[in-house]
Amino acid sequence: MNRKRKFEELETWREKSQKGGGAARIKKQHDAGKLTARERITLLLDKGSFEELGALVRHRSHDFGLDKQRYPGDGVVTGFGTVNGRPVYVYSQDFTVFGGSLSETHAEKICNILDLAMKNGVPVIGLNDSGGARIQEGVVSLGGYAEVFWRNSMASGVVPQISAIMGPCAGGAVYSPAITDFTFMVKGTSFMFVTGPNVVKTVTHEEVTLEELGGALAHNTKSGVAHFMSENDAGCIAEIRQLLAYLPSNCEEKAPMSAAAQPDEDAAAKLDTLVPESPNKPYDMKEVVRGIVDGGSFMEVHAHYAENMIVGFARMDGRSIGVVANQPLSLAGCLDIDGSVKGARFVRFCDAFNIPLVVFEDVPGFLPGTEQEWGGIIRHGAKLLYAFCEATVPKVTVITRKAYGGAYDVMNSKHIRADYNIAWPTAEIAVMGVKGAVEIIFRKEIAEAKDPEKKMAELESKYEEHFANPWRAAERGYVDDVVYPSETRLKLIRALNIVQSKADHVPRKKHDNMPL
Ligand code: HXC
């Protein structure tokens, strides 16, 4: 054995594997405004914490001259490291090697990461930048994708799975990110679609650009496929690091704690006067959230999609929480198809990972109209209802203003086993809004009145006095207390503390059959 030569060989392999597809392709990657797979990992993980796995793995193909191009690593950098001191597994596709395309061995490396993440109860982050199935490998690469999808499905609810799209992601490849919990996209350089603009043109005669069809904006605003949108690779990776701080490493752990902070001072000072006198005037529910949660801790998820429903992570006295709230500034806070699905998926994530739910409610009901009815608001609204019903994490609700009709039940009411529900004095908890209710129940009286308008106003104020308030619900114990807005934070912190060891269970079953 020639030890010196062996050591030199190791050095040569290491150098080769660091270079990916070579300097020219790395330059092309940089010129396109993208970082390389290794640069992304360096930014994602704590300095010096990365341990690579499979750096010397090479493909086994011979077709189409592939045997003459065998890059160590085979187009994906995989391994583990830490983010803010906590372990994560990561894979990062290397576009400089065969366009990051997925071969049999490339898939095996990703599968290995997913298996290890599952076995060790550690989150997994996939940085996707790939031309899809390695065309030269044919069906073998399709099999590789399916192996990845299967593991993503098995890992769902066991460890958090985060996908960042940092280049192309087309064809069936989009289904791995779609199964994972959160998808990040980068403006201008990332795109996702099942079929690209050329196929779309052939089949439907629609002219659409790559960006319009599947860019970050399209998926953050129109389809809801992506949850976050960043200006560049570095911004995207910084957001992933931020998100991880709210999540436990696996489903057996509790939501993580960090240092507590006082809420935003300005927002907190405005709480008592935030809800307008007129029930038809909107206000910004995000101000309510900011005035109550730890200062600067609110990280909105899906910020640009279904803005009538707000979801995101925050902290209360240092504890990670999931916020679900109606937004009166958009569609008056009504529940619609997109908002219901958005809310349901977030509630299920929080429940799977032991993150307590804090709900802020101001909802006039479900959005009326043929578009909603024919689109299946019944089926989609049921998802949100179902998600709250089955959630066994600590769940608390604050009714700030409207809590009408079925939406009252859906939005984490006591009846579906919320742990602590409070209302502000401005709450209106009733079957429906004043005007609609009066028009229905007093139709005859109004029609027969000498001055119908005067009669209507009279009856409205009577109804308002009777029902558009929190007192009826409080009388029944449907809300545990009516509190000043400025008292809310303290009440919620105490409630979350007392229910933190809650042990609730759903009946034994193979699995549920939630409305899909
Ligand atoms: C093998 C590929 C590849 C692929 C790209 N390359 N995609 N090699 N298999 N799928 C290689 C190119 O040959 C090139 O090699 C290098 O990667 C960079 O590609 P370029 O075309 O030069 O880059 P760019 O102009 O940026 O275009 C990127 C691209 C384009 C839009 C992704 O490459 C492209 O359209 N690729 C094919 C995409 C595709 O149809 N994939 C199959 C989808 S079906 P050199 O040596 O020149 O650097 C699919 C099914 C999955 O994925 C199903 C799962 C169930």
Pairing label, strands 86-93, 76-83: antiparallel
Whether 463 and 408 map to the same domain: the answer is: no
Q: In this model, does residue 27 exceed pLDDT 90?
A: yes
Mean pLDDT of the chain: 96
Sequence-ordered strand ranges (E) for 239-390: 299-301, 309-316, 319-326, 357-363
Q: Look at the alpha carbons of 385, 307, 293, 350 in this order and tell me if their dihedral is positive or negative.
A: positive
Residue identifier of the C-alpha nearest atom 41 of ligand 1? 132
Whether the Cβ atoms of residue 412 and residue 406 lie closer than 8 Å to each other: no
Q: In this model, does residue 1 exceed pLDDT 80?
A: no
Pocket probe for ligand 1: among 105, 135, 165, 166, the residue whose CB has the most ligand atoms within 8 Å is 135
Alpha helical stretches, state H, 62-166: 104-120, 139-155
Integer Cα distance of 24 and 332 in angstroms: 54
Integer Cα distance of 480 and 495 in angstroms: 11
Note the pLDDT of residue 17: 93
Stretch 350-363: mean pLDDT: 98
Nearest ligand 1 atom, CA 21: 48
Integer Cα distance of 356 and 499 in angstroms: 9
Residue identifier of the C-alpha nearest atom 3 of ligand 1? 131
Note the pLDDT of residue 468: 87
**Containing structural domain, residue 42:** 3-244
In a domain, 344, yes or no: yes
Stretch 300-320: mean pLDDT: 98
Nearest ligand 1 atom, CA 25: 48
Separation of CA 16 from chain center: 38
Q: Give the count of alpha carbons within 13 A of 343, CB side only.
A: 38
Pairing label, strands 309-316, 319-326: antiparallel
In a domain, 393, yes or no: yes
Whether 361 and 401 map to the same domain: the answer is: yes
Whether 273 and 407 map to the same domain: the answer is: yes
In a domain, 337, yes or no: yes
Residue with tokens 């150098």: 15
Letter for the amino acid at 271?
L
Selection from 65, 62, 59, 159 nearest residue 113 by Cα: 159
Whether 303 and 366 map to the same domain: the answer is: yes
Q: Domains in the chain: how many in total? A: 3
pLDDT band at 21 (very low <50, low <70, confident <90, very high): very high
pLDDT band at 516 (very low <50, low <70, confident <90, very high): very high
Whether 275 and 217 map to the same domain: the answer is: no
Whether 37 and 91 map to the same domain: the answer is: yes
Residue identifier of the C-alpha nearest atom 19 of ligand 1? 99
In a domain, 460, yes or no: yes
Q: Give the count of alpha carbons within 13 A of 196, CB side only.
A: 10
In a domain, 508, yes or no: no
- Which residues are paired to 398 by β-bridges? 360, 422
Whether 122 and 104 map to the same domain: the answer is: yes
Give the CA distances from residue 9 to residues 3, 15, 57, in Å, rounded to whole numbers and listed in that order: 10, 10, 15
Q: What is the DSSP string of 206-259?
A: ----HHHHHSHHIIIIIS---SEEESSHHHHHHHHHHHHTTS-SSTTSPPPB--
Question: What is the CATH classification number for the domain harbouring 372?
Answer: 3.90.226.10
Note the pLDDT of residue 432: 85
Stretch 468-475: mean pLDDT: 94
Pocket probe for ligand 1: among 63, 101, 102, 200, the residue whose CB has the most ligand atoms within 8 Å is 101
In a domain, 94, yes or no: yes
Give the distance (Å) from ligand 1 centre to CA of residue 229.
24
Give the distance (Å) from ligand 1 centre to CA of residue 171.
11
Whether 167 and 229 map to the same domain: the answer is: yes
Using a pLDDT cut of 90, give the percent of the chain over it.
Answer: 89
Stretch 361-374: mean pLDDT: 97
Note the pLDDT of residue 59: 92
Selection from 160, 166, 147 nearest residue 35 by Cα: 166
Element containing residue 429 per DSSP (H, E): strand 428-430
> Which of 201-205, 432-436, 498-502, 510-514 has the lowest average pLDDT?
432-436
Taking only the tens place, the pLDDT of each residue in 72-86 is: 999 999 999 999 999
Active site residues: 171-172, 406-407
Integer Cα distance of 400 and 408 in angstroms: 12
In a domain, 299, yes or no: yes
- Ligand 1 site, CB within 6 A: 25, 98-99, 101, 131-135, 142, 145, 168, 170-173
Nearest ligand 1 atom, CA 69: 46
What are the φ/ψ torsions at residue 193 (nearest 5 degrees)? -165, 160
Integer Cα distance of 457 and 446 in angstroms: 10
Whether 461 and 355 map to the same domain: the answer is: no
- Out of 187, 213, 244, a domain closes at 244
Whether 455 and 492 map to the same domain: the answer is: no
Instruction: Select the more confidently predicted residue: 1 or 461.
Output: 461
Note the pLDDT of residue 255: 85
Whether 69 and 204 map to the same domain: the answer is: yes
> Which of 121-130, 350-359, 464-473, 506-515 has the lowest average pLDDT?
464-473
In a domain, 504, yes or no: no
Give the distance (Å) from ligand 1 centre to CA of residue 95.
9
Query: Which residues contact residue 186 at a Cβ distance below 8 angstroms, ignoring those fewer than 6 apart?
Result: 164, 165, 166, 216, 229, 230, 231, 232, 233, 235, 236
Other Cβ atoms less than 10 A from the Cβ of 511: the count is: 5
Whether 322 and 416 map to the same domain: the answer is: yes
Q: In this model, does residue 151 exceed pLDDT 90?
A: yes
* Greatest alpha-carbon span in the chain: 110
Burial 469-503 (b: 16+ CB within 10 A, else e): bbbebbeeebbbebbebeebbebbbebbeebeeee
Note the pLDDT of residue 437: 86
